[in-house]
């Protein structure tokens, strides 16, 4: 789990410097969520994260806070490790 978050944070740094489309073409495959994965993260977020409370606003917490929030909420929403990462990557992509 820790490793996934480290990868997610690294991805956030990558995404800050290139558009998601450009990163699919040029970045190393291992550490990058593609634009499609981020789009999936958005869908999962909208479908799973508004069930118990209002859909949270990605901009209302720092990306560091979101790591801890997602560690608490992903099991509640029964996300897989992959879905956890995509939702996190979607959230930080909204904040840019």
2 vs 19, beta carbon nearer ligand HEC = 2
> Which one of 73, 89, 90, 92 is in contact with ligand HEC (CB under 6 A)?
73
Q: Are 40 and 64 in contact (CB under 8 A)?
A: no
List the one residue from 11, 74, 85, 92 that touches ligand HEC (CB under 6 A): 74
Q: Is 77 a binder of ligand HEC (CB under 6 A)? A: yes
User: Mind spelling out the 3-state secondary structure of 45-78?
Assistant: HHHHCCCCCCCCCHHHCCHHHHHHHHHHHHHHCC
x/- track of binding to ligand HEC for residues 17-36 (CB under 6 A): --------------------
Asked if 52 interacts with ligand HEC (CB under 6 A), we say yes
- CA nearest 56: which of 15, 16, 87, 84? 87
Closest CA to 6 of 58, 67, 53: 67
Tokens of 95: 């904040």
Give contact residues for ligand HEC (rule: CB under 6 A).
48-49, 51-53, 56, 69, 72-74, 76-77, 79, 87
């Amino acid at each position: 789990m820790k490793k996934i978050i480290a990868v997610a944070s690294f991805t956030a740094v990558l995404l800050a410097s290139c558009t998601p489309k450009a990163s699919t073409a040029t970045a190393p495959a291992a550490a990058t969520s593609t634009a499609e994965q981020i789009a999936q993260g958005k869908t999962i977020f909208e479908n799973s994260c508004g069930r118990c409370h209002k859909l949270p606003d990605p901009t209302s917490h720092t990306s560091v806070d979101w790591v801890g929030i997602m560690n608490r909420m992903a099991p509640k929403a029964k996300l897989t490790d992959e879905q956890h990462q995509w939702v996190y990557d979607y959230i930080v992509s909204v904040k840019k």
